[in-house]
Structure 1
Amino acid sequence: MRPTPGKTYKVVVWATGGVGRYAIRTAADRPNLELVGAWVHSATKDGQDIGSLAGIESLGITATRDIDALLGGEADCIMYAAPAGPRPKEALADFCRILAAGKNIVTTSLPGLVYEKGSLSERYLEPIREACRAGDSSIYSSGIEPGFGCDLFPIALLSMSHRVYSVRGIEITNYSQYPVEFDVRELFGFGQPLDYQGGLKRPGVLKWGWGAAVTMVADALGVELDEIRETCEFLPTPRRLETACGLIEAGTVGATYARCVGVVDGQEVITIEHVDRMADDLAPEWPTGRTGGTDGIWRVIIDGEPSFDGEFEVGYHDDESASDHGLLATGMRAVNAIPWVCEAPTGIVDALHLPLTSPLGALHPQRDGVPAF
């Protein structure tokens, strides 16, 4: 399952939005990755140079809407960055078509696919497995969360444990500069009335998104979960807020606190929590970072012997955007795994069973190369 020394892996980027643009810039910068194409949904992007679409110099490779041409080409791996949350059936069809054509996939689009247990039904998973067998291919889903911050990061800390009583992984984010309308308004419920029952409030949605990550942590501890519980709270904003997705009116949802909880022996022992705000001063009683931060923070609290309270923050410099750096980190969890996934056994692979997917070729002592921003 180790990358072949000296091998260059040919990559197609599937969609050139926020994460896709970063994937193009990174693949163009890495000596072990070679861009050979990009799929685009928009007719206006069809035929454009993919470097220009990614905001860098021309790469001499044109984007296309011709799926057959891409799948009939020489790509080893598809970096799939098209949205899947609002279109799970369409994403499943894409996955199966790509895998059956013999192309491996790394993706940030489907959180419930980070692990084979806990989120997605067998009715959804089995066609993916069948396509992998047909194409002798593999698929890997990851991101900053789930995929690292509240699952792999806690698992790494747990490797120092004698006894463990509970594990909490907490994402703490300010979504005011996040431009994805579906996620902000429909999924998280920002700007909705406080009695909104869609998105995260719908039964099964939290488990669909984060149950796999909770189960991954449980499997790392060698325990079977009795059940996975879900809770979600809303708090209003007391004033009108201007955000990347438009106005959030006073009195509507301005902060959300969602929890996906693994239960063993009647105790809530493995929890993934998302504390999301549209302004830093909202919901001051809800979790923050260790020093009070409210954006770009992933915090892990382990009650045990020893106890741990650790966190990391993305975009921590004053002139950096936590939103931009978070999107970049999300994409890199997939892009950096490409060599390992291409060498992995056929089927669905996950972070618990892959080696650490270190960013081969990423070190630039002279600060040269293709910048992400």
Structure 2
Amino acid sequence: MSDKQTYRVIQWATGTVGKVSLRHFAENPAFELVGVLVTNPEKVGKDAGEIAGLPATGVIATDDVEKIIALDADCVHFAPLVQDIDMVCRLLRSGKNVVSTLGPFYPTEHFRADIDRIEAACRDGGTSFHGCGIHPGFVGDILPLTLTRLMNRIDRIQVYEIADKLRNPSVYIQFMGFGLDPDELSAQPNCMEGAAISFAQSMSLLVEGLGRTIEDLTEKHEVATAKNDIPYPGGVIRAGTVAGQHWEWTAWADGAPLVVYHLYYMMGDDMEPAWNLGDSRHRIVIEGDPPLEATLMASAAPDGRHPFLGITWTALLGCTAVPHVCDAKPGLITHLDLGVVQPRGLVRPPSADPGTR
């Protein structure tokens, strides 16, 4: 892998994550964008630059899967709304490496069947697969594991994701059941109930990286309700309905809680109870000797508040891993296999578009 080498990439899906990736591939000289797969009929036939808010690239978006499969490309950045292991395996067998923002991230027992299929497809295609994201992913596994090198003894590791979804609206507002009556939310199947299985991949990487094994995984869920109506671009969170959710997952080892994940999603602070958690950020707390705390957050916006960059970071974690995944041995590539990623093409003149500065 050299600074002058370019990688031919395909962007699969151009939603909130895919659009960030598309822009990166179009602007970064380390990549040559050769294809774009879209699922929205209104985007078919549009230039990738138009979709990404950039000048024309000459790459026209298509919804024709067979055309994408037939392209000559080094890697597909795979970012649909829902994972499709069958399609991932088709891409791998076609000779294209795949980086997916949907995982799987790490070979836990729950994902063993999918990983076995992916490994087989990698062998057939001589390709590699890497699943990644901000959380689960980076801030819940490889970042805290790296920080543990500063420790003499570890008692417990807590990882917080705090996201103000009023300031940063996304599909998760509806996806997680915000605006429902608390009893209604608890009575119906919740979209987050299976999340522990996904987050457990990051927990396993971290716990096993410390030489231990997860003995048990427990879950807690609490909600906060709106004190007043909370309008947002997609509607209104009515007073008395769910305006905040705290999901807590704990990985136990040696009979004690070793890793705890806290996921706080809120529609502002006008809630009961008032959590008053401050700006959106990721926070890692390592209890032990010496105690350690690290915060990862976006720089302040003009209004002084710190936006939540979970979507942007999820996309860029995949983009910056592409060269290493392409150059890796065939098979599933975890964060541990990647080692220290050395991104390519990041040091370059700023775009003429003020929105990228």
1:23 alignment partner, one of 9, 21, 24: 21
In structure 1, the partner of 2:322 is 338
> Identity over aligned residues, as a percent?
27
Deviation at 1:201, TM superposition (A): 5.8
Q: Given that residues 150 and 171 in structure 1 are in contact (C-alpha distance below 8 angstroms), is that contact kept between their aligned partners in structure 2?
A: no
- Within-5 A mapping of 1:1-373: 3-84=1-82, 88=83, 91-110=84-103, 113-117=104-108, 120-181=110-171, 183-186=172-175, 188-195=176-183, 196-197=185-186, 198-199=189-190, 202=193, 205-282=194-271, 286=275, 288=277, 293-295=278-280, 297-319=281-303, 325-364=309-348, 366-368=349-351, 372=356
CA–CA separation in structure 1 for the residues paired with 2:112 and 2:284: 30
Q: Name the amino acid aligned to 1:190.
A: F
CA–CA separation in structure 1 for the residues paired with 2:101 and 2:306: 18
Q: Secondary structure at the match of 1:239?
A: coil
TM-score, normalised relative to structure 1: 0.88
Q: Name the amino acid aligned to 1:330.
A: T
Q: Secondary structure at the match of 1:333?
A: helix
Aligned length: 353
Change (3 A) 1:72 1:124: same
> For structure 2, which runs of at least 5 residues remain unmatched after alignment?
none
Deviation at 1:49, TM superposition (A): 0.5
Higher helix share: 2
Change (3 A) 1:8 1:38: same
Q: Given that residues 275 and 287 in structure 1 are in contact (C-alpha distance below 8 angstroms), is that contact kept between their aligned partners in structure 2?
A: no
Question: Which stretch of structure 1 is more off in the superposition, 321-330 or 305-314?
Answer: 321-330
CA–CA separation in structure 1 for the residues paired with 2:269 and 2:139: 21
Deviation at 1:177, TM superposition (A): 4.5
CA–CA separation in structure 2 for the residues paired with 1:10 and 1:238: 51
Q: Name the amino acid aligned to 2:350.
A: R
Deviation at 1:94, TM superposition (A): 1.8
Q: Secondary structure at the match of 2:42?
A: coil
Deviations, residues 101-137 of structure 1 (Å, cap 9, x unaligned):
1111112134xx222226x432333222222222111
Deviation at 1:326, TM superposition (A): 3.1
Q: Given that residues 29 and 369 in structure 1 are in contact (C-alpha distance below 8 angstroms), is that contact kept between their aligned partners in structure 2?
A: no
Deviation at 1:321, TM superposition (A): 8.0
Q: Given that residues 130 and 334 in structure 2 are in contact (C-alpha distance below 8 angstroms), is that contact kept between their aligned partners in structure 1?
A: yes
Deviations, residues 53-85 of structure 1 (Å, cap 9, x unaligned):
11111011101112122121111000111112x
Change (3 A) 1:178 1:99: farther
CA–CA separation in structure 1 for the residues paired with 2:304 and 2:130: 29
Change (3 A) 1:280 1:37: same
Deviations, residues 264-290 of structure 1 (Å, cap 9, x unaligned):
1221111111011111343666483xx
Question: Which stretch of structure 1 is more off in the superposition, 318-327 or 67-76?
Answer: 318-327
CA–CA separation in structure 2 for the residues paired with 1:192 and 1:9: 46
Deviation at 1:36, TM superposition (A): 0.4
Change (3 A) 1:360 1:8: same
Q: Name the amino acid aligned to 2:322.
A: I
Deviation at 1:263, TM superposition (A): 0.2
Q: Secondary structure at the match of 1:274?
A: strand
Q: Given that residues 178 and 184 in structure 1 are in contact (C-alpha distance below 8 angstroms), is that contact kept between their aligned partners in structure 2?
A: no
CA–CA separation in structure 1 for the residues paired with 2:239 and 2:156: 37
> For structure 1, which runs of at least 5 residues remain unmatched after alignment?
none
Q: Secondary structure at the match of 2:150?
A: coil
TM-score, normalised relative to structure 2: 0.92
Question: Which stretch of structure 1 is more off in the superposition, 300-309 or 316-325?
Answer: 316-325
CA–CA separation in structure 2 for the residues paired with 1:24 and 1:32: 13
